[in-house]
Each structure stands twice: as structure tokens, then as C-alpha cells.
């Protein structure tokens, strides 16, 4: 995610007090059966939340996948 691009687009669209929050969760899970590893699952998920002031009201949106090409469409919604 190009955060600078998102901030500039948001401010250009009249969104005030724009904020981006991201968190990443990394998980590993193993199961054992009869003394041997049965399964191994590894995952990494980055969640993104954006919010800003629009017409005096706070707007908030959560995104699981962020595509810079969709930036303006998302911000307008």
C-alpha cells in the first residue's frame, strides 16, 4: 500500500483528518498424530482500516486486500 498516495487522494477529494491503520497477524498451527506432524498451517494476514471526516461526519472502512489502483474508487465510496 502506497500510504502517501492514499493520503494525497483522500485530501484531494475533500476528506479531512484522514487516517490509515494496519495490523498484521501471523499464525502457525501444527497438529501431531501418532508422534508425527500431521498438518502445518502458516498464514499472514494484513488488515487495513481507513477513516476520515466527510461533511463533518466520521466515515470508516475496513479492507482486507488493498489495491492502489482502486484507491480513488474506494475513497469516493
Q: What is the pLDDT of residues 1-16, one digit of tens each?
A: 899 999 999 999 999 8
Sign of CA dihedral 16, 63, 67, 73: negative
Residue 46 in 3-state DSSP?
A: strand
Phi, psi of 68 (to 5 degrees): -60, -30
Length of the chain: 77
Q: How many structural domains comprise the chain?
A: 1
Q: Which domain holds residue 36?
A: 3-76
Q: Are 75 and 63 in contact (CB under 8 A)?
A: no
pTM above 0.75, yes or no: no
Q: How confident is the model over 14-27, as pLDDT tens digits?
A: 998 999 999 999 99
Residue 43 above 90 pLDDT? yes
Cell 502458516 belongs to: 42
Amino acid at each position: 500500500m502506497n500510504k502517501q498516495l492514499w493520503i494525497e487522494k483522500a485530501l484531494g477529494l475533500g476528506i479531512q483528518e484522514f487516517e490509515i491503520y494496519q495490523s498484521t497477524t501471523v499464525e502457525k498451527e501444527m497438529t501431531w498424530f501418532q508422534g508425527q506432524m500431521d498438518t502445518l498451517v502458516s498464514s499472514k494476514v494484513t488488515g487495513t482500516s481507513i477513516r476520515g471526516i466527510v461533511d463533518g461526519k466520521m466515515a470508516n472502512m475496513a479492507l482486507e486486500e488493498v489495491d492502489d489502483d482502486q484507491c480513488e474508487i474506494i475513497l469516493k465510496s
